[in-house]
Structure 1
């Protein structure tokens, strides 16, 4: 008897639109049981980008950022990339929306990797000195490879390091570092809440949404 082997092709690319994605938060345990949900705390994808690789802002059929409701998951996220054209961080802006606050990191250049992790406090990259930015929760966003200064050393993201926001949940946004192709953006919150990260282009930017 011959045995038939079936090869299953796994899709090589996973696009993270943010922690938990657009489809909702992590599943809960089945009714009537005490088993915790088996969901990894951190989602990670590694992407290698070359100058000839075309950029993409979202998967086909994904809703536009203006049509999204509040995010639904607090899971941390990491996206790793390498690029020969590290982008510049041009600035960070923020605004209140229906049910969530939005922090936009404006970029120019290649597509960077990024991560978002909950931290007990914000510290200055390199020195480790604490940053005076009172809040009830801290979300540390790291963009790499990226710089917030030009070739002459002049900052492209000016001002700060603390930018007061006073939104529904976001109290302030903090420039935590610009060191060795790593740019830190700390988001000071009134309380921990669900969030997501979206990659967008034309203009290029990272969008961080945090629920109220």
Structure 2
């Protein structure tokens, strides 16, 4: 597959203030405004298909997502960041899932899958739904160097939002962390990268 080199401007912006559901890590306090020099990272984005990737406006300026196309961003690092947990909340027109990170920004993909399975074993995960998004974060770990989990609990975290039924920890193996999003029905989504602190955000329309 032909790949396109894309430069993404990594700029901070306002995090959601009311992300109520928590799986693993407590919500991080985020400033209402933040200014710092723009840092540019070169990543590879899969152009077929390429979903919405945004780093600009805050939550209050965003409407519901408009595309169901899958997203892939590739990055490499010698020090994989840690996944601390996932949070979720309902917003007007969409649900938001936030993956909290410590360290740099990893690569990731967000793809439609027919069901959720445990990474490594391939065993099915009991999380009924009408549609499934598989988020693969890599390079990243959900455990410390001593093997202690940094994302505790689960693997299934009940959400019960407008469309998101639950969030599932599907794996933490060989610098790959899996996060499944169980939906009531297939709907448009977008991916946001946020800074200070590091987060990966997936919004799914109701």
TM-score range, shorter chain: 0.7 to 0.9
2:178 to 175, 181, 184: 184
1:73 to 60, 67, 71: 67
Residue 185 of structure 1 deviates from its aligned partner by 0.3
1:43 to 42, 45, 50: 50
Q: Deviations over 1:78-129 (max 9, x none)?
A: 0000012210000100000000000000000111000000000000000000
Where do 1:95-134 residues align within 5 Å?
95-134=89-128
Q: Deviations over 1:4-26 (max 9, x none)?
A: xxxxxxx9634399xxxxxxxxx
More strand by share: 2
TM-score norm. by structure 1 comes to 0.74
TM-score norm. by structure 2 comes to 0.76
Residue 65 of structure 1 deviates from its aligned partner by 3.0
On the 8 A contact 1:83/1:111 being kept in 2, the answer is no
1:144 to 129, 138, 146: 138
Partner-residue secondary structure (3-state), 1:110: coil
In structure 2, the gaps of 5 or more residues are: 11-46
Distance 1:16 1:127, change over 3 A: farther
In structure 1, the gaps of 5 or more residues are: 1-10, 18-39, 45-56
- Bigger Rg, which one: 1
What is the CA–CA distance in structure 1 between the aligned matches of 2:141 and 2:75, rounded to whole Å?
A: 15
On the 8 A contact 1:114/1:143 being kept in 2, the answer is yes
What is the CA–CA distance in structure 1 between the aligned matches of 2:6 and 2:117, rounded to whole Å?
A: 34
What is the CA–CA distance in structure 2 between the aligned matches of 1:190 and 1:15, rounded to whole Å?
A: 32
Tell me the equivalent position of 1:135.
Answer: 129
